[in-house]
Amino acid sequence: MSERREKGMKIRRKVLGDAHVDRAEAAKTAFDQPFQDMITEGAWGTVWSRDTISLRERSMLTIALLAATKNFEEIAMHIRATANTGASRDDIMEALLHVAVYAGVPAANRAIAIAKATFAEMDTES
């Protein structure tokens, strides 16, 4: 395992939690292994592991970017990750208000609906 992949796996587990990463690793096949390695090294080992801004800020940015680009599939996962990064519900709303102004109300509205549903699920799991 490369140093960057090892660093990426550590931060990925810290942010997403062991259970999520374990499920993703168990579902990995020979076909998608190159992709999984790339995101572990690139996204997690290069970007998320930088100490320039906090994990809280990275969560807010990631959720806003996912919403702004209408990549809604991963929003719930990153909402769940806020339990590990320290981004509050108020932080997420502030990020999504920016999405509404700069990327459009429909994108923010969809992301807010996902966030509300995810937070409700998290509340029942606690």
| Encoded tokens for 119 | 């937070």
The stretch 102-126 carries a mean pLDDT of 97
Q: How many CA atoms lie within 13 A of 116 on its CB side?
A: 6
Let me know whether 48 and 80 are in one domain.
no
pLDDT tens readout for residues 65-107: 999 999 999 999 999 999 999 999 999 999 999 999 999 999 9
Let me know whether 106 and 66 are in one domain.
yes
Tell if the pTM clears 0.75, that is, is over it: yes
How many domains are there within the chain? Answer: 2
Please give the radius of gyration of the chain, using alpha carbons only, rounded to the nearest integer: 15
Neighbours of 71 (CB within 10 A): 12
Let me know whether 64 and 96 are in one domain.
yes
Mean of all residue pLDDT scores within the chain: 96
Structural domain including 58 reads 54-126
pLDDT tens readout for residues 94-103: 999 999 999 9
Let me know whether 72 and 82 are in one domain.
yes
Let me know whether 119 and 68 are in one domain.
yes
Let me know whether 89 and 109 are in one domain.
yes
CA atoms of 14 and 40, how far apart (whole Å): 13
pLDDT tens readout for residues 50-64: 999 999 999 999 999
Position 126 scores a pLDDT of: 76
Let me know whether 61 and 94 are in one domain.
yes
Let me know whether 60 and 46 are in one domain.
no
State which amino acid sits at residue 40: T
